[in-house]
Amino acid sequence: MLNYRHLKLIKPLFLLLLTVSCVKDVDFDQARNLTINPVLEASIVYFNAPANTFFVNDDGEELPEAQDATVIKVFNSDFLVDNLIRAVFTFKIANSVKRGFQTRIDFLNTEDEVQHTFTVNTAASINNEDVITDHIEVFEGDEALTALKTTNKMVFTAILSPSPDGSVINQNTIGRVELKSKATFFLNINTDE
């Protein structure tokens, strides 16, 4: 048990340790030269369309292609323009329709000029079970990043492949097409003055 006399000895010893303890000089200016590299993920586009509505027009005829667009202003925000060093887009397409198709993805600027484009081929489903197609598109380097940073619209065009048996898609066609996509942004934020 500690008594008063022990406390009198501990107090000076504690003060001595505080005064001679090892402490380096702290340079608070180091925060001005800070570099951080965050990684951000965001969902870009999602759709899930039954075959009979995705590929059939009002007259009941098969459409050779279907198109949708989405405006995305985040790519040319000042923050991304100044700090983006790499972007990776991941697309996952599930097709349970007995027809294959191509999905063309166009990145357009404010004047609707194509800045970047690529195509993903998706195989037909044999038995109306999901056929999964994955695609990764990487934006890295000055040319690719400039194309991305000037993009404000993405256009998705699904082009139906010819039927191997001559059948056409109609109101009774079974299956669906689902597309999920996400973008991963790699940033370099430097606080140099």
pLDDT in tens, 48-75: 889 887 777 767 778 888 888 989 888 8
Q: How far apart are the first and last CA of the chain?
A: 57
pLDDT in tens, 99-124: 999 999 999 999 999 999 999 999 99
Domains with residue ranges and CATH for the chain: 37-190 (2.60.120.660)
> What pLDDT, on the 0 to 100 scale, is given for residue 141?
95
More confident residue, 165 or 32: 165
d(Cα 54, Cα 62) in Å, to the nearest integer?
A: 9
| pLDDT of 138 above 70 | yes
| pLDDT of 18 above 70 | no
> What pLDDT, on the 0 to 100 scale, is given for residue 4?
54
pTM for the predicted model, two decimal places = 0.78
What's CA 11's distance to the chain center, in Å?
59
